[in-house]
Structure 1
Amino acid sequence: MEHIVVVGAGQAGASLVAKLRSEGFEGDISLIGAEKVPPYQRPPLSKAYLLGEMPEERLYLRPAAFYEDQRIDLQLDRRVVAIDPAAKTITCDDDEVISYDQLALTVGAHPRTLPAAIGGNLDGVFAVRNLADADAMSPAFVAGKHVLIIGGGYIGLEAAAVAAKLGLKVTLVEMADRILQRVAAPETSDYFRALHRAHGVDIREGVGLDRLLGDDCVTGARLTDGTELDIDFAVVGVGINPATILADSAGLVVENGIATDSHGRTSDPHIWAAGDCATCLFAGAPIRLESVGNAIDQAEAVAKNMLGQDQPYVPKPWFWSDQYDCKLQIAGLNMGYTDVYIRKGDAPGVQSHWYYKGDELIAVDAMNDARNYMIGKRLIESGRSPAPAVITDPATDMKALLKS
């Protein structure tokens, strides 16, 4: 009987094994995860879970009984340390060797950390990637404490929002000229800068961290402009790196992630990859999409292709971020945009930013504007690009654009 092994028990891994069963695969399935808990949602870790609004059990993607009922051998608290593509085996950290007929790598990514030379190894310095990270930092989120957030991307801003809501003093530093510079237009940066400052967050742009101060535990920080701050702890949100060590050591092609073809297959015909660790093809070019949506969609496509369905994966990028009472929803990819047009909503704080590359609509950022997010997403996916003057006209019936 065929044995499919999936290494990495996160969103992508859980989606892949569930899809294998729903598509009728009757063989053996093993899902191996390094954490002690079953597959769970990661986005709430820096939001609802850290705020204490969501218990751990609600994070779980499926109840534990699901894996037993579906005859999925869920192996937790276990690490795979090597792959032998020639023998089609993996070796676990207890030296057990497991054979596979097909292997899928859904191993995710790791947060970038600060070098020890600038204090990255001090106690009280946290990252936000997994449940253990959130549990470790949660006791530090006490009203009146001073937290330094390093990095003005979505993770850093979400952590800043939680800290501000809990009554902490928050300083956020971003070494680039503006927050969200890598992922959003200046208009979106302006929106969230104003939102955070309205909640008391001290945002410092164009300023980086020189080093953290303290003997064993962090007590302060020196910034690149010479400013010194007294802080109680620090949260590092400076991006992630795909987990490629296993793939690299197995001789698979690695290029900003585990390289895959349009079907999710790696350079080895019996090994597949999906999620944050893997590339995919978008508009003919390899990219890596760090999102829940891609983790699910790519993993489900890989599951079908492992079963011989021969269906190319066509990404439909979408993302979201919750900060205070603002829900940001993003459709499409804004890479190479030339212009951004703003559509104001009917209430304060409700607006959407429409990215164009020449005459082509390529992405939308929608703040508390779920309706226009959905319209924008459908327009992008169908290849329709209304004129910017139509988008920005308050009199435009946006829903009608889907019929034109």
Structure 2
Amino acid sequence: MDYSQFFSPTSASRKPSAIRQLQKFSSIPGMISLGGGNPNPTTFPFSKMSVTLRGGEVIDISEADVQVALQYSATNGLPNLVQWLRDLQLLEHRPKLQDFDICVGNGSQDVLTKAFEMLAAPGDSVLVEAPAYVGALAFLRPLGVKFVEVEVDESGPVPDKLEQTLQNWPADVKKPKFFYTVPAGGNPTGLTTTLERKHQIYEIAKRHNFIILEDDPYYYLQFNKHRIPSYFSFDSDGRVLRFDSFSKILSAGIRVGWVSGPKALVERIVLHGQASFLHPSGISQAVVSSVLHKWGHAGFLNHVQSVAKFYEGKRDAFIQSADKWLKGVAEWNVPTAGMFVWIKLLGIDDSSSLIQEKAMEKKVVLVPGFEFFANPTKTPYVRAAYSIASESDIDTALMRLGELVREATQHK
């Protein structure tokens, strides 16, 4: 595939950093480097590190590994971590195209926004779910793009609507170059796209020649026994960029995520990194890598299974309280992944003032649905997260929400 057709002018003009390019030569045995401006590690006050896990196990990070983590390193990530992640992708997704590259970022949002910059230029039309993740919309809006919203139902994006939109596309207007989607436990809907829908969307992508940006931070928080396969797993054309994150399963503050996909696309993300953040935090990568290598892939998969089980219990508690307090005044789908419930308030045309004012007065924080639509709209929906609040607090919050909706509809 000729990927140059997808690049924005800014991304297409990026060239490798002359200094960053020297990094790969510095580790060759016998090489004497007078080129890089690396600080001398003997001046760093840090020597060793250790990490204590919740179970009490202590993982020591050697002095040699600490010194590597403290120094400038490869833009796409520490080699031992990148290799572990590559092996994970091969084990978990078994991709059709195994000649893919990986770039680690400061959280998956970091590499995701670099992909947006790579593909989106002012005036471009972009395909996004309706509703969509507000953090992605916040980055895309200043780029001057035109949003083409893709309708979503309980099974994910609706293929017929997407196909109809693209078939009726004006001949004198360039078609969208990518579709941005959160397929598992979607933020804000909590919905998970079925495998059948994924295959249908992928075939549309082939017919209309666009890239799929698979933003999947909740992939490992699927509650069913068998996780629904990713777009990345059956991508035969090299038109899927997959974004994974440790934020929901290891630590949000450690800021480690990664992108997997075709070499030519990942290369552009790396070039952006060379000119912006140089490389992800070495210390964060070292900590994550030490834990992952200690666990092995089997241990990691056991860990994410226990995390998914935890959130499944939180989901069950939320739905139990919703059934108690919101029946008759709201509707919702029961999520099978993630940490969100998308609630439709019955008899309410616009949830914004109710949530931003009345709910706050009642000491309940929710997010009004309009925030998640790329194009301005009024909506009765509201997003609730069940990840942090206790079961009793969830119960109290939904009781208060139910009271607010009843009060609002009675005064109409």
Bigger fraction of residues in helix: 2
Tell which has more relative contact order, 1 or 2 (C-alpha 8 A, sep 6+): 2
Bigger fraction of residues in strand: 1
